[in-house]
A and B are shown apart, each in its own frame.
Chain A
């Protein structure tokens, strides 16, 4: 059953059209990755899904009902971390729990559990400015996971991480997704990341943002593989190349458009 249905969604800011004619269905429990050139409207799309802004045209259904605003059934991991600087890592994770009304006594333990999950035990009492960029991002991920939303909306959550941390968190996210059955919409710039994580990869066009193609990713008998074994399989390389080709033209076009915009 479709968890999220996006129907002919358009979003413009003043006269500028950021998204146009987006049609997409996301199944319940699906892991969908969105890739696209910078500025194509990925974050804008995520905002719409999160209910933080309304589409200019078209509509978005969640469980069959139109999205009219934000809700705790959707957890957003923002591209800019969005940590409360006056709260510790622990306090930031608890922030989400407070919103959902988890009893005070359980919050501490739950927050620690999820900080541990993202490899941050021992950093509970640090404030964001005492954490590295990657650590901050992990706190934001722990916060979104801790309050247990049905749908996870993640905006380039691993962009600021080093390769090792990124890969281990990718595995962790896959594991969490498999064990919890959450629906995940995951935005990234990384083609490898898209192929590694996504069941389907939606490739977007640049300006205005449209869905160019949705590539189903499946590795047949290799599906059980993890890490390097999967990344080095010929199937993986094939998908990567396919998406790379789709993106390549768009990135080139986006550059061209940007140049023209500057020149104009």
Chain B
């Protein structure tokens, strides 16, 4: 079973593709995989034909946070050299992580000034910064940001609340998952934005259709990741719980749920990126507020620096949101076997 949103959408939203994982718990060799599906139905087990080891779209996203760990310690006397070395290493880490962004900023400043690109269409970043400052000063930026965040966080939140329990349920009942699988694939692979006209048709052009399209787009990555997380729960652990005569709700609470958390959260993180991606596009089509509207309207009025200010704000929000979710995800996945070992 493949999970996660499609790669291009993730790349567009600035999310790294999660590293493929061999399986949740590499050292456990799954046995007794036949389950009830073969038809003799004589096992006490869940009958889950678990494909343990099928790479679910769940990496813990090792892309950030290495800086914090390199903070120099308060050096005891005689440890000065070591502390200095650590400081140098920390600086180096900061440099590595920022150099590309700094280079982009420098290029953005220099290229228009040097006449390499048309400054009318790509004004130097300093001008964009000034425009951004003005927008922030007169409250416009706050207004649009608030409008966008309300929609995308609202839709995202609804999607999480709906899709996680639903995914757990579907994942638990393997036959249901099997029947629904192809349908879910179809929905997942139907670009949410292609359905925007349908949403507008049904729900009008107001807030409802915008939040709905965010909900729609966010549901799939969460739902699919959750379903596969439940399906991929280590069969040995399920057998362990069975051997202790755990009731099904207890089995769910103590084994399936904790085992699924990392993969579920990977879905949540993908949905976070998708929520912003989809919303901005939706706001460009029919809205009177929001960052997507700001970008679109600025372009329309030929207020190019303002347009770029809007774009930068969107990408900053995207990066911050993703960073937040990555941090939470990392917290929840600490027990995972490190990918390298």
Contact = CB atoms under 8 A, between A and B. Distances in A.
Interface string A36-56: 000000010001001111101
B45 A84 contact: no
B243 A52 contact: yes
A54 B45 CA distance: 10
A217 B29 CA distance: 33
A84 B335 CA distance: 10
Contacts, number: 93
B244 A133 contact: no
Interface in B233-286: 234, 236-237, 239-240, 242-246, 250, 254-255, 258-259, 261
Nearest to A16: B34
Interface residues on A, range: 35 or more
Interface residues of B, number: 36
Contacts of A261: none
Given A52-B45, A133-B27, A85 B240 contact: no
B43 interface: yes
Interface stretch (A94-102, A170-178, A227-235, A246-254): A94-102
A239 to B, nearest CB: 31
Interface in B17-76: 24-25, 27-29, 31-32, 34, 38, 40, 42-45
Interface string A125-139: 001110001001000
A82 B43 contact: no
B40 A14 contact: yes
B139 interface: no
A76 interface: yes
Given A70-B243, A78-B240, A84 B43 contact: no
A136 B28 CA distance: 12
Given A84-B237, A98-B254, A74 B243 contact: yes
Contacts of B258: 84, 86
**In terms of DSSP, what is the predominant structure of the interface of chain B?**
loop
Interface string A65-87: 00001111011101011101111
A167 B34 CA distance: 36
B77 interface: no
A61 B197 CA distance: 66
A242 B32 CA distance: 33
A53 B32 contact: yes
B99 interface: no
B244 A96 contact: yes
Contacts of A81: 27-28, 236
A75 B244 CA distance: 8
Contact of B245 (A47, A99, A127): A99
B6 to A, nearest CB: 30
Contacts of B239: 52, 78, 82
Contact of B44 (A52, A80, A86, A96): A52
A13 B39 CA distance: 11
B136 interface: no
Contact of B42 (A54, A69, A82, A147): A54
Given A14-B38, A86-B261, 15 more contacts: A14-B34, A14-B40, A51-B243, A52-B44, A53-B43, A53-B45, A72-B244, A72-B245, A82-B236, A84-B258, A84-B259, A85-B259, A87-B335, A129-B338, A129-B341
19 contacts: A43-B31, A47-B32, A52-B32, A52-B44, A69-B44, A70-B242, A78-B240, A82-B240, A84-B258, A84-B259, A85-B336, A86-B261, A87-B335, A95-B254, A100-B244, A127-B334, A129-B337, A129-B341, A136-B27
Interface of A: 13-14, 43, 47, 50-54, 56, 69-72, 74-76, 78, 80-82, 84-87, 95-96, 98-100, 127-129, 133, 136, 147
